[in-house]
Amino acid sequence: MKRVLPKLLLNLTLAIFILSSSAAQHQKGQVTISGTVKDASNGENLIGVSVCIKETGKGGQTNAYGFYSLSLPPGKYTMVIKYLSYHNFEQSISLSANQQLNIELQPEGVQMTEVVVSAAGAKQNVRSMEMGVNKLEIKSLKNIPALMGEVDIVRSLQLLPGVSTVGEGASGFNVRGGGVDQNLILLDESPVYNSSHLFGFFSVFDPDAVKDVKLIKGGIPAMYGGRLSSILDVRMKEGNDKTFSSSGGIGTVSTRFMVEAPIVKDKGSFVIAGRRSYADLFLKLSPDKDLRNNQAYFYDLSGKMNYTLNENNRIYLSGYFGRDVFNFNKQFQMNWGNGTGTLRWNHVFNSRLFANITGIYSLYDYSLGVPEGANAFDWRSKIINNTLKTDFSYYINSNNKLSFGSNIIFHLFKPGEAAPSNDSSPLNPIKIDYQHARESSAYLDNEQTITSNFSAQYGLRVSMFDYVSGKDGFTTYQYEGVTGEKKNAVNPQTYNKGDLIKRYVNLEPRLSLKYELNNDASIKASYNRTTQYLHLISNTSAASPLDVWQPTTNNIQPELADQVALGFFKNFNNDVFEASVEGFYKKMQNQIDYINGAQLFLNQNLEAELLYGDGRAFGLEFFLKKNQGKMTGWMSYTLSKSERKVDGINNNLYYNTKYDKTHNLSLVGMYDLNKRWNLSATFTYSTGVSTTFPNSRYEIGDIIVPHNTTDSRNNYRVPAYNRLDVSATLYSRVKSGRKFNSNWVFSVYNLYGRKNAYTVYFRQNKDIPTQTEAVRLAILGGAVPSVSYNFNF
């Protein structure tokens, strides 16, 4: 904590400095109108709403808490707010001094209006500084066909340009040629370390509790840091502060229930949402005793409350807890899950200075073991971090918006501890040393309108990572030996409690430029450097829940990435269509790979098994979206390449990453057939993932071993992937005065039952031992139909 306080003080001083200087700004003849924009039906703050002044054509956007601030010369104006799926808002304002105006937008008909693909305002695509950004609205996600009817944020992301996955049921997602651990997944600002339930089939976010999802792939603003490739910013609902409401659903896999209600009307509210899979309950009916005794389920629980103390102060408390549990007849058990907690204070210093102070707790842990018998053991691993952060937005004048802030994260890693779980077990207890680190950063970022059609956003983030010794002291090693083989630990060095082992400081410049060619088209360019100090140690085709996060150490260097991107953005047909083309090039340093046969679990000298190298990725992304009308949806196509060059692999030459996909196409269509039926379909096509095929075989005893004499990595690809999903939603009749609404969703995943290869591997035929064969593994090899029922009242 000692180190946090000076930073906080620094921030506060800065704030005060700006406050006083803001008085000076006033004299320049500008006044400010500010406030929040909310949904009139439930009081939810609306994020990213364009607030415009008709007369000047200028405006701004609400921030993540619905706050906006506009500075203008005194006078009479018309304020216009357009937000898809809400009624337009227009109000005359007469500005003579600073003024506060809180606005509530009336939603259009609750159902059966056009499906909204993006919450963005009509011209946002062209006018905002953002590039490489995609927003998903939960409302639209609910109409996209989902695997087993489970509305899934992470799977939906995979339909966007620049996003790919290593296969069906694989955990996480890959952005612009980056690894799954290079995405910063934030749930109400708290990092989530594993975004998957059931290995990778479902994501951990309960759609009923989520309000807004934003994926940032490029032009990453300075306020974000800590991962190389992307930011997935998931915001939870705040809860209805007008009236009690609830929703829920029964699906093929899980049941959900959510309630929200005011604590004090218009002042405070809460929301609680829970979800549990229930397939295992049917196991209890099984005649097989071994099956009856099994458990296999996941659940998650999300909650949030907020309270508005007064016009200028609001407090939020949110939490998430989710878990997957497996238990096989007492022979084997395994469970894992994330937990997060966020306490936040929004403070409006004045009409132009908005502050946010947040405390965050996040953990990920797993345990597995054999509960009984001769081999009984229990194995655990955990990562915990505590964060304190401050973020300020200062609306300097109509042309400049300054953001600044700082944060510090205390990391604790417990990579693995295993112990016998009964007296008869012969296993010796083992404990890998805990690791401690402090990650701190500060940033300054300005969004500036330079001319009426040219804007820039520029900023700098400074990050610092301290690898420190815990209370029991710590011993570090250096590693010597042949690259590509297991190295030897040498030169042990011991440290005492709190000693600094190694410090890294990195400067991360960020720049975005936008030039508006006309009302409907713009060109944007960006550069960003990002640094990553945490690394997921995973050497399997898909990341597994047992993979361990590892800090940057005296041996493991921070990962660095530099990305440049250039894009063209255009709206046409009166903003009915939005289109963009973006090209990117990304260079990554200090990427981690593994020696052949690496032992990554319960290994005190894990670093002896690691290899380091560079990565590069480049690509072109095409996106066309239709926002309005009976038929909505989008087309996304990505042409890209992602490679790595690691000493000790592939003869030290560049090789394709597993998730390198030359072509990646997604088509998403939703159609309102009539007042009650909505039909939708998605089609995806992508190049098969890279893998290594043998070019010869040899015999050891009676075992045939596949071998590649060229020592190459990822020299082949599995067959291309394609899949069509369809769904139909039937809404209940809308009756005036009735609050209860429901719908049925019928869907078929993988409609034509294609056996998409997850891997192709090689094996000896069981019956004819001299014969060898290539085997295709399809994780979902058939069509998967499902029905779910959803309601709200």
CB of 553 to another protein, least distance (A): 23
CB of 544 to another protein, least distance (A): 5
Category of 229 on φ-ψ map: left (φ > 0), alpha (ψ -120 to 50) or beta? alpha
* Site track 392-421 with another protein (rule: CB under 8 A), x = hit: --------------------------x---
Q: How many residues interact with another protein (rule CB under 8 A)?
A: 90
The reply on whether position 778 binds another protein by CB under 8 A is: yes
| Interface segment toward another protein; rule CB under 8 A; list 76-84, 307-315, 426-434, 659-667 | 426-434
From candidates 377, 443, 474, 569, binder to another protein by CB under 8 A = 377
| C-alpha count within 13 angstroms, C-beta hemisphere, residue 636 | 22
The reply on whether position 763 binds another protein by CB under 8 A is: yes
Q: Which of 316, 307, 395, 446 is nearest to 68 (CA)?
A: 395
Residues numbered 168 to 187 that lie near another protein (CB under 8 A) are: 169-170
Q: Are 107 and 180 in contact (CB under 8 A)?
A: no
Q: How far apart are CA 762 and CA 781, in angstroms?
A: 19
| Interface segment toward another protein; rule CB under 8 A; list 152-160, 396-404, 455-463, 774-782 | 774-782
Map tokens 């009976």 to a residue.
630
CB of 557 to another protein, least distance (A): 22
CB of 156 to another protein, least distance (A): 20
From candidates 91, 106, 493, 771, binder to another protein by CB under 8 A = 771
Q: Are 712 and 695 in contact (CB under 8 A)?
A: no
The reply on whether position 734 binds another protein by CB under 8 A is: no
**β-bridge mates for residue 663, sequence order:** 639
* Site track 482-511 with another protein (rule: CB under 8 A), x = hit: ----x-------------------------
The reply on whether position 470 binds another protein by CB under 8 A is: no
From candidates 186, 305, 348, 370, binder to another protein by CB under 8 A = 370
Pick 91 or 771: Cβ nearer another protein: 771
* Site track 739-758 with another protein (rule: CB under 8 A), x = hit: ----------------x-xx
CB of 173 to another protein, least distance (A): 16
The reply on whether position 695 binds another protein by CB under 8 A is: yes
Map tokens 């594993």 to a residue.
194
Pick 98 or 331: Cβ nearer another protein: 331
Q: How far apart are CA 334 and CA 328, in angstroms?
A: 9
The reply on whether position 696 binds another protein by CB under 8 A is: yes
Residues numbered 645 to 664 that lie near another protein (CB under 8 A) are: 658
| Alpha carbon separation from 307 to 204, 267, 302 (Å, rounded) | 26, 6, 17
Total residue length of the chain = 793
The reply on whether position 424 binds another protein by CB under 8 A is: yes
Quick one: CA dihedral 197, 200, 202, 205, positive or negative? positive
Q: Which of 216, 142, 188, 160 is nearest to 45 (CA)?
A: 188
From candidates 94, 310, 428, 674, binder to another protein by CB under 8 A = 428
DSSP 107: B
The reply on whether position 782 binds another protein by CB under 8 A is: yes
Chain centroid to CA 235: how far? Answer: 11
| Interface segment toward another protein; rule CB under 8 A; list 108-116, 183-191, 354-362, 535-543 | 535-543
3-class secondary structure for 643-711? EEEECCCHHHCCEECCCCCCEEEEEEEEEECCCCEEEEEEEEEECCCEECCCCEEEEECCEEEEECCCC
The reply on whether position 24 binds another protein by CB under 8 A is: no
Pick 167 or 459: Cβ nearer another protein: 167
* Site track 243-282 with another protein (rule: CB under 8 A), x = hit: ------------------------------------x---
Residue type, 615: G
Residues numbered 278 to 317 that lie near another protein (CB under 8 A) are: 279, 288, 290-291, 294, 296
Q: How far apart are CA 28 and CA 47, in angstroms?
A: 30
CB of 203 to another protein, least distance (A): 16
Pick 315 or 334: Cβ nearer another protein: 334
From candidates 515, 779, 785, 791, binder to another protein by CB under 8 A = 779
Residue type, 462: V
Q: How far apart are CA 183 and CA 180, in angstroms?
A: 6
The reply on whether position 376 binds another protein by CB under 8 A is: no
The reply on whether position 781 binds another protein by CB under 8 A is: yes
Helix (H, G, I), strand (E, B) or coil at 263: strand
Pick 326 or 434: Cβ nearer another protein: 326
Token representation of residue 30: 């500008």
Token representation of residue 445: 């970022």
Q: How far apart are CA 123 and CA 534, in angstroms?
A: 37
